[in-house]
Amino acid sequence: MEIMQNRLDREFQENQQQYEEAVLQTLRSGYYVLGENVTSFEKEFAQYIGSKYAVGVASGLDALWIAFRVLGIGVGDEVIVQANTYIASVMGITINGAVPLFVEPDAFFNLNSDLIEKEITSKTKAVLVVHLYGQAAQMDYIVEICRKYNLYLIEDCAQAHGAEYNGKMAGTFGDIGCFSFYPSKNLGAFGDGGAIVTDKKEINDFVRMFRNYGSDKKYYNKVVGANSRLDEIQAAMLRVKLQHLDIITQEHRVIANRYSTGIKNRKIILPEVRENATSVWHQYVIRCGDRDRLAEYLEQAGIRTTIHYPVPPHLSEAYSYLNYKKGSFPITEQYAKEVLSLPVYTGMTEDEQNYVIQKINEFI
């Protein structure tokens, strides 16, 4: 059996007719950028997440760096972020000239909130929380710290569409929630896309202007902005997918549950979910001291896995200028050596799931 780590074609096939109609209608409408579909998607997405506003942008990375730009966080400022994240989280900070202050993760792969306070200096302006792999971080405590020290709170929800903490969705705890609609995400478009969500009208208004060359009114430009617009075809497709997102999430949960009850191998540590938190299981990430051999063994059995992520940002070439060394963040570095993401995707058959479980249980 051949099993890919992700299969975008399966979900497409389940709802093919709706997607095709949405694209054709958009093509025939004659409006391709910032039209009816973007406006409607923004409303529908804000409503789904439980925020007042959503603004479509061109990618998750754009959502992040524009979020920091709107808040005026840049040169001379510091932002606290977990060390074990996708590098885009960190780039969102550094594109603006701000400095990341890395914090080690907890056992749930999220920011260890006990470690935030001791990092705060007079230059610290914000905390960027990443709801990694689809699980909401410990938001009550993080919100409290941000209030206490008067820090902005930005949430990277690129992997966590619909994840909840205490019944409230990721993206609604802080000043700004940043989403990606990259195709492999749970709410993935058919190309690039992203959004910011917020309850604050000033932020909504500024991002709307900023994403379109800094203009509210055509050819009258208030600030040096960006071209970062969600396009109509992606918005039309996202409107369709949003209607199926609860089913998509549910399917991911069923698969994760099968793995968690079916996988029994002493060499493997299974992922867990924090009390009061939910996961939308964007990834199902196991840990194994013998990870590379396990990945190779699964590959031989036809099962593709992925490592999210092999190089932590502080050790990546891009951030060599921050002068971190191996050993700076031991937990993060250990995770980078041990994590392995198993196949999880909408439309994954029971046979496929059982095959993955069987092969992992046979690993010695």
Ligand X SMILES: *Cc1c(COP(=O)(O)O)cnc(C)c1O
- Give me the residues that bind ligand X (CB under 6 A), please: 59-61, 85-86, 88-89, 130, 156, 158-159, 180, 182, 192, 194
> 308 vs 359, which CB is nearer to ligand X?
308
* Position closest to ligand X via CB: 60
> 60 vs 177, which CB is nearer to ligand X?
60
> 285 vs 357, which CB is nearer to ligand X?
285
> 124 vs 234, which CB is nearer to ligand X?
234
> 77 vs 156, which CB is nearer to ligand X?
156
> 130 vs 137, which CB is nearer to ligand X?
130
Q: Closest separation between CB of residue 222 and ligand X, Å?
A: 25
Q: Closest separation between CB of residue 47 and ligand X, Å?
A: 22
Q: Closest separation between CB of residue 155 and ligand X, Å?
A: 10
User: For every residue of the chain, which 3-state class applies, written as one string?
Assistant: CCECCCCHHHHHHHCHHHHHHHHHHHHHHCCCECCHHHHHHHHHHHHHHCCCEEEEECCHHHHHHHHHHHCCCCCCCEEEEECCCCHHHHHHHHCCCCEEEEECECCCCCECHHHCHHHCCCCEEEEEEECHHHECCCHHHHHHHHHHCCCEEEEECCCCCCCEECCEECCCCCCEEEEECCCCCCCCCCCCCEEEEECCHHHHHHHHHHCECCEEECCEECCCCCECCCEHHHHHHHHHHHHHHHHHHHHHHHHHHHHHHHCCCCCEECCCCCCCECECCCCEEEEECCHHHHHHHHHHCCECCECCCCCCHHHCHHHHHHCCCCCCCHHHHHHHHHEEEECCCCCCCHHHHHHHHHHHHCCC
Q: Closest separation between CB of residue 261 and ligand X, Å?
A: 27
> 89 vs 124, which CB is nearer to ligand X?
89
Task: Report residue 87 as tokens.
Answer: 């590098």
Q: Closest separation between CB of residue 288 and ligand X, Å?
A: 22
Q: Closest separation between CB of residue 308 and ligand X, Å?
A: 8
